[in-house]
Structure 1
Amino acid sequence: MRKYINRIFIIGFAIMLLLFPSMLMAATSDAQLDAILVIDASGSMKETDPNKLGLEGVKLFVDMLGLTDNQVGVVTYGSDVSQTYPMSLVKNQSDKENIKNFVDGITRDLEYTDITSGLKEAVKMLNQRNASGNSPLIVVFTDGNNAIGGVANRTPADIDKDLAAIISQAQSEGYPIYTIGLNDNGKLNEAYLEKISVDTKAKAFATKDPAELPDILTEIFAAHSNLKVQSLGPITGTGNFEEVVVNIPNGNVLEANLSATSKSPVEFKLVDPNGNEQTIPSQNITLHTSNSYSLLKLARPMQGDWKLYVKGIAGDQINIDLVYNYDIEVTMKPLSQSNYGVGDQLIVEAYLSLQGNAVNDPNLYNSAKGYLVLTENQTGIETRINMQLQGQNFAGEYTLKDKGDYTVKVIVEDTSYVRESTETQIQVGAVATTSPAATPNLNNTEDTKEESNPLWLYIGLGILGVVLLIVIILALKAYKVAKTPLVGQVVLELKDNTTGKLTPPQYKKLSLFQGKVSLHALLQFAPEFKETEKVILKAAPGDKVILYNNSAYAIEKSGRVVKANEGLELKKGDRLSINIADSGETVQIEYLL
């Protein structure tokens, strides 16, 4: 019987590994982003940024994103928040165009400036975003000068106090705040912006040249996407097409992004490694252009040397950068133990993988370098050891010298990518560990075997395995629902309870949200409707949307109060109303499919 119990437990454990592959310590591929782009919309920006580099930069950032579950929101501010584009998924070209159209409609005519209003809103939007696992960041376009002379009950000391609180919150949440100082008239408050960025482990930039902005954004983008930027060198326009060779090093490139910046628009021609000229745009090639940049995207490009032909105005300098998106990961093999002693050898192996399987493409390893990174948790001191490439496996070892708790990971770098494995923890004690000597079984009887491996242990482990399987299956089901986009859209109108007037209808696509969204988010987080954050729309199996109301407000349907604390399924054409007594308004909701 024990033999069968052993088999059941082993099979159960194998299933758990299949269901829970993170036990293999595989890192994610190119990180996805949750980005809030913050724009100073005060009138002073017409002098510090007459060429609207900030607006162009936001659109370029959006164009550079891949169509793989990135989330983007936009905030504009003066002395207070002026306009917001709610955090939204970017899954197709239409999503990008919606954001860029919003940016094109931004006017910069606000009288006063208070950077803390924009940053506070950005942090709030990140805090209230749908859980995604994406890399969060904030990018601010401003001249860094606050002007609140006419704002009642607001002083520079108030701004400093609020900024300190915002930076503290950003630090604790891990939100880097990149600042891009726009400095056409030389009045940039560079030190002020640099402190904001440095304190949040980001970087401050300054520019007045349109040609520099794409390089700045590319650096930010690449830093958060585990990518490296390759300069294909500036070329000087001649009025004719100039050839630039673009090498696609292997077959694992998801997307190649080519950006060209110059004072005037440029033209492109593109020839694949087989010598065939490609149509621009086409199914796998997209082109995004603006006043200061052109961005060419190649989806799943063929391995080999492509030829890009660029035509610019004679005498113009054209800067060309290349960024790859990969779907490869680095997987660190499980360590042999988690407890070590001073003097022990830490032996680590890792390999490149794709969807859990080892990658056997030698082109990915030719110029790659692997590093074993050991970080002491208390001091943060990092030790980096070169790993040896043995075929298609990185191997490294290190003699542990000091007691303490450590984080271990592997970094693999190439000219076109950087990858990090999932981290694992080890403890190092004072005494080196030794493997206990095997004790011979002098009697060698079945009774002795039973004592060393009692039946109850196997039964207990088997039961534990089954329980873990059930928990994992339930968690996977919950995760699947949490990642399921909502279906349909809602039409929102606000009715003034005194005058009966309605605001223009706002159409909100629920498909932009995964798993759930609050009514407060759909109302763009207006403070007077804060209680509506307890009114939640959730995705349910069968393309259903369920409304849950845990707020202090009653929800009416067809003039009758309905109970929705345990869930109310929305049907096509349903009309609901919520009386917000605090603001003297009623939110009217219509659900459409």
Structure 2
Amino acid sequence: MIRLPALFRYILCLILLLGMFMSGETAAFAQTASGADKMDAVLVVDVSNSMSQSDKNGVSLEAMKMFVDMTSAQGNKIGVVAYTDKIEREKALMGVNAEQDKKDIKAFIDSLQKGAYTDIAVGVSEAIKILEDGHDPAHSPIIVLLADGNNYLNPATGRTQQKSDQDLDEAVKKAKAKGYPVYTIGLNADGQLNRTPLQQIAAETGGLFFETSTADKLPQILSEIFANHSKVKVVPLKNFTSNGQFQEVPLSIPNSSVLEANISITSGQAVELKLIDPSGKEAAIPSADILLSRSRAYTMVKMIQPAQGEWKLQVKGADRDKIAMNLIFNYDVLLEMEPIAAQPYKKGDIIPIKAALVTAGQQAVSPDLYKKMKAKLIVRELGSQQTSELELANTGSGFEGSFTVPDAKQYELKVKAEETSFYRETKPVTIDASQGAGGSASQPPAGAPAAEDDRPFPWLPVIIGTAGLILVAAGALALLSAWKKANKGFTGQIAIEIVDEDTGEKSHPQYKKLNAFKGKVKLHQLLQLAPEFQETDKVLFFPGKNDTLVLENRSGCRVEKAGRVLDASKGRELKKNDRIKISLTSVNKSVYVDYIV
């Protein structure tokens, strides 16, 4: 006879099999949910004419390009805002999944043109809107603002400094509320930097303020921004004056959990590089695992998943040229604390504390990752805001200790673990001992095991239940697939121009961000539902694969691409920078659509 616990085991196996059946969906979710180092960054730059003096060396553009190069090779999203007293140009958050994506963003940055006036509030407000429209909750948001801090308003518009200050204050409050830190870089080539607004923006949103007049400070500034935002540390490298020959710089990869090592190099003239791996073999630069990017102000080497050990970087610069270098690592690692029971506590209760490093939802098991790490419990008493620290023991696979409630008050607890190249903090947890009595830290004793019996195994109900579960799972998968299709997000934006075929008159381009829509969008919606364009209600756009757009024409309009009629009745794919012409039948006008990623 099969006893009752065997039935439980059978049902558990059934659940696991159903889990395998649905793994195609759940695996995709797990893949998306991982990625502790990923960020959604908006780069904001003042492109007013005054920057010709405060940034006469073009430091702002070099800084933005260097930021792009320093981000991870895959998985981030980057947007750009160029402002004067209005938005001159912008790029919505764009997924960076290949080196070409970075090149496209840097080419966009190089194409920015200057305008007459300046209004900081305009640039900051637009950056916040871009994050609101396209920020991935699994990524960390960040805004980097490059400006001289001065406003120069257009008197013809009637806008006052007071109104600009009010708008900036509202934008800063919104950024703070949404958790969008703003890092500001003040550009001071002409000595006219207005530090106050830039310092206040950074301080109030949780960012940092920096100041520079030359490009040689960029590696340190950008490294510190990355270090602060990504909870890593800038690793100092040897700086030297070149003798015209190859000079060696030691480079240590501390553990196997390093995803990327980023080496930034500034010099007056171009440098030659060689890289020797721990086995003594020269590694090709560039290669699949070692990326190289150059600009007039810097050289960047990105090592992807480098082998642990002692590397050697050999640098050859022009004679007497000063070579400055910085190194930061990217880690896909989080620190998580074991849950603490959400119950009232009292003075004297002992609460066990355990924390461990986690990657992709699993505990990191590499002993090298823990070898040099130290951890502490940070305790903040919420009334007085006083903090104290308790050392935790490193077990080689985590950190352990305990907290004894000192008084009848409320406390916030979090664990911080760090080593020479990075640190991580857990999310804070609040415990309440303010009532002075109640529960304790100990867990309630487990109940006695249920008694077994000798009843026969219920085959018929299990078979019927199994069939039912499979049908439910299949239905759930179908519904999930339909829901995902209806809620799939768009990438990039569309530029729309309307041409009157009778007069040849052309409208100014209208830029429509697509990430505000899910599943599909009608051209009529993008044309603000204007009655004369009613027939475009049947011209549809759907998000496609790999940042493409799918056009489906169910109307009588004629669609052309590169002068040839396009049959889009069953859907046609549009790629980045594709341009199509849609000729209307009800009015003698055409709509030109450019897909911009």
Give the TM-score of the pair, scaled to structure 2: 0.77
Identity of aligned residues (%): 34
Seen in structure 2, the aligned counterparts of structure 1 residues 488 and 347 have a Cα distance that, compared at 3 Å, is closer
Q: CA RMSD in A?
A: 5.1
Query: Residues of 2 paired with 1:235 and 1:524: CA distance?
Result: 59
In structure 2, what is the equivalent of residue 322 of structure 1?
327
Query: Residues of 1 paired with 2:370 and 2:122: CA distance?
Result: 48
| 1:523-582 Cα distance to aligned partner (Å, 9 max, x none) | 899xxxxxx9xx98554899997789xxxxx9954379xxxxxxx974459989699x9x
Q: How far 1:232 moved relative to its partner?
A: 0.7
Task: Give the one of 419, 425, 444 matched to 2:424.
Answer: 419
Q: Does structure 1 residue 43 correspond to structure 2 residue 49?
A: yes
Q: How far 1:494 moved relative to its partner?
A: 3.1
Query: Residues of 1 paired with 2:110 and 2:497: CA distance?
Result: 25
| 1:224-255 Cα distance to aligned partner (Å, 9 max, x none) | 22322111132122222111000112222221
| 1:183-237 Cα distance to aligned partner (Å, 9 max, x none) | 0111000112111111111111111121111211111122222322111132122
In structure 2, what is the equivalent of residue 73 of structure 1?
79
Q: Does structure 1 residue 92 correspond to structure 2 residue 98?
A: yes
Query: Residues of 1 paired with 2:257 and 2:195: CA distance?
Result: 41
| 1:364-409 Cα distance to aligned partner (Å, 9 max, x none) | 1121112334556787665543210123221121012345666554
Seen in structure 2, the aligned counterparts of structure 1 residues 372 and 547 have a Cα distance that, compared at 3 Å, is farther
Task: Give the one of 380, 388, 399 matched to 2:404.
Answer: 399
Q: How far 1:59 moved relative to its partner?
A: 0.5
For residue 365 of structure 1, give the secondary structure of its aligned residue in structure 2.
Answer: helix
Q: How far 1:42 moved relative to its partner?
A: 0.9
Task: Give the one of 339, 345, 351 matched to 2:343.
Answer: 339
In structure 1, what is the equivalent of residue 89 of structure 2?
83
For residue 144 of structure 2, give the secondary structure of its aligned residue in structure 1.
Answer: strand
Q: How far 1:172 moved relative to its partner?
A: 1.4
Task: Give the one of 206, 209, 215 matched to 1:204.
Answer: 209
For residue 324 of structure 1, give the secondary structure of its aligned residue in structure 2.
Answer: strand
Q: Is the 8 A contact 2:81 2:127 kept in 1?
A: yes
Q: Does structure 1 residue 213 correspond to structure 2 residue 212?
A: no
Task: Give the one of 242, 245, 255 matched to 2:247.
Answer: 242
Query: Residues of 2 paired with 1:60 and 1:180: CA distance?
Result: 13
Return the letter of the residue paired with 1:558.
C
Q: Does structure 1 residue 385 correspond to structure 2 residue 390?
A: yes
Q: Is the 8 A contact 1:30 1:227 kept in 2?
A: no
Query: Residues of 2 paired with 1:48 and 1:39: CA distance?
Result: 13
Seen in structure 2, the aligned counterparts of structure 1 residues 87 and 359 have a Cα distance that, compared at 3 Å, is closer
Q: How far 1:477 moved relative to its partner?
A: 5.6
| 1:501-537 Cα distance to aligned partner (Å, 9 max, x none) | 4579999999x999758689x9899xxxxxx9xx985
In structure 2, what is the equivalent of residue 495 of structure 1?
499
For residue 412 of structure 1, give the secondary structure of its aligned residue in structure 2.
Answer: strand
Task: Give the one of 303, 306, 317 matched to 1:298.
Answer: 303
Task: Give the one of 370, 375, 389 matched to 1:370.
Answer: 375
Q: How does 1:542-581 map to 2 (within 5 A)?
A: 556-558=555-557, 570-571=571-572
Return the letter of the residue paired with 1:414.
E
Q: How does 1:254-265 map to 2 (within 5 A)?
A: 254-265=259-270
For residue 283 of structure 2, give the secondary structure of its aligned residue in structure 1.
Answer: coil
Query: Residues of 2 paired with 1:472 and 1:394: CA distance?
Result: 40
Q: Is the 8 A contact 1:555 1:578 kept in 2?
A: no
Task: Give the one of 187, 191, 205 matched to 1:182.
Answer: 187
| 1:144-178 Cα distance to aligned partner (Å, 9 max, x none) | 11111534211111111111111121111111111
For residue 183 of structure 2, give the secondary structure of its aligned residue in structure 1.
Answer: strand
In structure 1, what is the equivalent of residue 457 of structure 2?
none
Q: How far 1:360 moved relative to its partner?
A: 3.3
Query: Residues of 2 paired with 1:99 and 1:288: CA distance?
Result: 13
| 1:7-48 Cα distance to aligned partner (Å, 9 max, x none) | 477668879999889xx9xx9654211111111111111111
In structure 2, what is the equivalent of residue 431 of structure 1?
438
Seen in structure 2, the aligned counterparts of structure 1 residues 157 and 440 have a Cα distance that, compared at 3 Å, is closer
In structure 2, what is the equivalent of residue 251 of structure 1?
256
In structure 1, what is the equivalent of residue 127 of structure 2?
122
Q: Is the 8 A contact 1:237 1:316 kept in 2?
A: yes
Return the letter of the residue paired with 2:72.
G
Q: Is the 8 A contact 1:245 1:308 kept in 2?
A: yes
For residue 283 of structure 1, give the secondary structure of its aligned residue in structure 2.
Answer: coil
Seen in structure 2, the aligned counterparts of structure 1 residues 569 and 414 have a Cα distance that, compared at 3 Å, is farther
Q: Give 5+ residue unaligned stretches, structure 2.
A: 454-465, 529-535, 560-568
Query: Residues of 1 paired with 2:59 and 2:526: CA distance?
Result: 29
Seen in structure 2, the aligned counterparts of structure 1 residues 347 and 306 have a Cα distance that, compared at 3 Å, is same
In structure 2, what is the equivalent of residue 222 of structure 1?
227
Q: Does structure 1 residue 162 correspond to structure 2 residue 171?
A: no
**How many residue pairs were aligned?**
555
